[in-house]
């Protein structure tokens, strides 16, 4: 019975995938580009985060997909339950992941850059882990092809004239400062705790700066 249910669920995914845009998740704020190679999607938690992410994105090539809370832990569920879960379906259809177990086709992806952008708190870390687990178990090739990224908040933002630099620790900051002339004028902003990830301005910072995104491969998981 479980195998039959899983087969029916997979077939439903195939049928919806054929419909393409008409079956895309309703909360997906898509980008205007139809070229997957230049398109990227930010997976965020909740409508509030989705709203602030939309404010900071470039509509030409950046899409936003808000999730409704924590997704299913597929390590503890059978395949049929996974396919029936609405949030999992939204990920599969919204990203163009295809059906689990079938040959990976990068050309079928709607975005070649998938960025997980969750809050810098315990719940955010849990959601990020669940998403990474899903992608790894469902389509491991996403990591091997360099498609999976995680938004990582910097510790410092350094502004010197029109130039903006991000540093992830004290060592990076000191290294950057050594490149400036002794009499250089610049401003240092230190991000505290969850501020950079959880605030509207923080999400804008992360979305607008590719240096805040860390690429993962299967060895990182």
User: Is 45 labeled as catalytic in the residue annotation?
Assistant: yes
Residue 159 pLDDT exceeds 90: yes
User: Is 205 labeled as catalytic in the residue annotation?
Assistant: no
Tell me what the mean pLDDT of segment 135-141 comes to.
91
User: Is 123 labeled as catalytic in the residue annotation?
Assistant: yes
Residue 164 pLDDT exceeds 50: yes
CA distance 48 to 76: 29
Catalytic residue selected from 38, 121, 169, 201: 121
Q: Are 124 and 71 in contact, with CB atoms under 8 Å apart? A: no
The residue ranges of DSSP E strands in 50-186, in sequence order, are 62-67, 113-117, 148-151, 156-160, 163-167
CA distance 169 to 62: 28
Q: What is the mean pLDDT of the chain?
A: 81
Catalytic residue selected from 58, 123, 159, 169: 123
CA distances from 44 to 19, 81, 196, 206 (A): 25, 23, 14, 12
Q: Give tens-digit pLDDT for 57-82.
A: 889 999 999 988 788 898 888 888 88
Task: Please tell me the predicted confidence (pLDDT) of residue 40.
Answer: 94
> pTM of this prediction?
0.76
User: Is 201 labeled as catalytic in the residue annotation?
Assistant: no
Catalytic residue selected from 30, 79, 119, 205: 119
Q: Which of 56, 55, 60 is nearest to 40 (CA)?
A: 60
* Nearby residues of 171 by Cβ (< 8 Å), 6 or more positions away: none
């Amino acid at each position: 019975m479980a195998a039959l249910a899983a087969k029916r669920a997979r077939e439903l995914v195939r049928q919806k995938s054929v419909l393409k845009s008409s079956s895309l998740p309703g909360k997906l704020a898509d980008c205007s580009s139809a070229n997957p190679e230049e398109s990227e999607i930010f997976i965020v938690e909740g409508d509030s985060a989705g709203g602030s992410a939309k404010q900071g994105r470039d509509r030409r090539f950046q899409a936003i997909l808000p999730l409704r809370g924590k997704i299913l832990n597929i390590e503890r569920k059978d395949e049929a339950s996974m396919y029936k879960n609405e949030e999992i379906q939204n990920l599969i259809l919204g990203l163009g992941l295809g059906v689990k177990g079938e040959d990976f086709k990068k050309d079928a992806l709607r975005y070649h850059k998938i960025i997980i952008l969750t809050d810098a708190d315990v719940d955010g870390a849990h959601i990020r882990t669940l998403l990474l687990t899903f992608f790894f178990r469902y389509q491991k090739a996403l990591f091997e092809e360099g498609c999976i990224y995680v938004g990582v908040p910097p510790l410092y933002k350094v502004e010197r004239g029109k130039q903006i630099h991000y540093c992830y620790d004290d060592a990076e900051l000191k290294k950057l400062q050594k490149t400036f002339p002794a009499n250089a004028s610049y401003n240092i902003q230190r991000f505290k705790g969850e501020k950079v990830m959880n605030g509207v301005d923080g999400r804008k910072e992360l979305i607008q700066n590719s240096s805040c995104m860390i690429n993962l491969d299967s060895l990182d998981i």
